Amino acid sequence: MNIKNKLLDFGTNPLVSKFTKPIVETVVNAIGGKPADIKTVHERLQICRKNTCGNYIKKGENEVCNAKTGGCGCFLADKTRLADEQCPKKLW
Ligand code: SF4
């Protein structure tokens, strides 16, 4: 299994992964983004879920960095998986 397939099979939970998998695939393919390693993805998501930034929200099954409170508006399951992404609050 190559790194891209590992990335696409990884998810914060099965429901989220089911819906975000096609989005991640599209993003990775479209921008040629380098995937982050799994440990990094976990660390990033843990930081987001603490919500010290005040931007973390859940929209249905999706975790989002809320643009209405100064976040980037990204789906976190996707954002955290791309190696070159950065937290807009510089928390990771
Ligand atoms: S990316 Fe940064 S600002 Fe956005 S939810 Fe995560 S920790 Fe908060």
Which pLDDT tens digits describe the chain residue by residue (92 residues)?
Answer: 555 555 555 544 555 555 665 566 566 655 667 899 999 999 999 999 999 999 999 999 999 999 999 999 999 999 999 999 999 999 99
Whether 91 is covered by a domain: the verdict is no
- What is the predicted pLDDT for the residue at 32? 65
Residue nearest to atom 2 of ligand 1 (CA): 87
Residue of 43, 50, 53 to test ligand 1 pocket, by largest number of atoms within 8 Å of CB = 53
Whether 34 is covered by a domain: the verdict is yes
Buried b (16+ CB within 10 A) or exposed e, 7-46: bbebbbeeebbeebbeebeebbeeeebebbeeeebeebbe
Query: Is the CB of residue 57 below 6 angstroms from any atom belonging to ligand 1?
Result: no
Whether 8 is covered by a domain: the verdict is yes
Which range marks the domain in which residue 16 is found?
Answer: 3-79
Whether 73 is covered by a domain: the verdict is yes
Whether 85 is covered by a domain: the verdict is no
- What is the predicted pLDDT for the residue at 83? 93
Number of structural domains the chain divides into:
1
- What is the predicted pLDDT for the residue at 33? 77
Whether 89 is covered by a domain: the verdict is no
State the DSSP H helix or E strand holding residue 39, giving kind and residue range, or none if neither.
Answer: helix 38-50
Angle at 9 between CA 8 and CA 11, to 5 degrees: 90
- What does the alpha-carbon distance between residue 53 and residue 64 come to, in Å, rounded to a whole number? 12
